[in-house]
Amino acid sequence: MVSGGSSAERDEATDTAKKKHAKSGRASKGGASATEYASEAAAINAGGAGGKGGTDGAESANGDNAANRANGDYVTGDNGGDGGDGDAERSSSQADDLAAERDKYLRLAAEYDNYRKRSSKEMQAAYSDARADAITRLLPVYDNIERALNTDCSDEPFYKGVEMIMAQMEQILEGFGVKPIQAVGEVFDPNRHNAVMAVENPDFGENVVAEEFQKGFTLGDKVIRFSTVVVANPGQ
């Protein structure tokens, strides 16, 4: 007797057993007994149950695997958190590197700006020194023209020509920014005057320039030649 399972399953098992006997040729010998059919049907039914159980086991195993994968996902999520920390550290390191490079760039820019300003000042100073040196070399010519004008001359046209040369010389010096230093009647200034003599003269006050031997000049704020003077009534 076939036991276990539903009525439909038992009928299906019995039909399967009959088909099996028919293929093996036993049906041509008078057929199998009901007992044999029942035994084989029970075996088939039992096998089907086992197959179903195997299927259920596989499904259970798959469920466990899914659960394990889910747990793995959580673990992977934790590792992802660690990866996030790594990304944060890399970002922080990159920010530090960027700040260092920016500081280096600002320092370099400041150094270049200082170099540019220093170079400009040095070039300007070199130009001023060269101009002052050139003008200083021309001053003896000015002195000689001045001496010629202070000399008595009976040839008026000649004297007039010397005056014109002096006027042109003064115009050229003025064009370079050269100015004569005021001396006679001025209080003696050691920063502009070079005293070579001292006299007592009631016509002048104390420590006043009474006479000028050689005219001095300035170029801008720089004295390119001191005035050579005589100081009256120097103080004690």
Distance CA 106, CA 209 (A): 56
Tally of CB atoms within 10 A around 206: 12
CB-CB contact of 172 with 192 (8 Å): no
Q: What 3-state class would DSSP assign to 53?
A: helix
Q: Is residue 134 included in any domain, yes or no? A: no
Q: What 3-state class would DSSP assign to 194?
A: strand
Question: Which sign does the torsion angle of CA 219, 223, 227, 233 carry?
Answer: positive
- Residue by residue, DSSP assigns 54-74 as HHHHHHHHHHHHHHHHHHHHH
Q: Is residue 112 included in any domain, yes or no? A: no
Q: Is residue 27 included in any domain, yes or no? A: no
Our CA dihedral for 39, 45, 48, 52, rounded to 10 degrees, sits at -140
The one-letter code for the residue type at 116 is R
Residue 202: its pLDDT value, please?
A: 85
Q: Is residue 95 included in any domain, yes or no? A: no
Domain containing 196 equals: 178-236
Q: Is residue 13 included in any domain, yes or no? A: no
pTM of the model: 0.51
The domain tally of the chain equals 1
Q: Which of 135, 167, 172, 136 shows the shortest CA–CA distance to 149?
A: 167
Tally of CB atoms within 10 A around 182: 15
Q: What is the DSSP letter of 28?
A: G
What is the pLDDT tens value at each position of the chain, 236 positions in all? 444 455 555 566 566 655 655 555 444 444 444 555 455 555 555 554 444 444 444 444 444 554 455 444 444 444 444 556 777 777 888 888 888 899 999 999 999 999 999 999 999 889 888 989 999 999 999 999 999 999 888 899 999 999 999 999 999 999 999 999 999 989 999 999 999 999 988 888 888 999 999 999 999 889 999 999 999 987 65
CATH code at position 231: 2.30.22.10
Distance CA 140, CA 142 (A): 5
Return contacts of 186-195, CB within 8 angstroms, 24+ apart: 188/229, 188/231, 188/234, 191/223, 192/216, 192/218, 192/223, 192/226, 192/227, 193/226, 193/227, 193/229, 193/231, 194/226, 194/227, 194/228, 194/229, 195/229, 195/230, 195/231
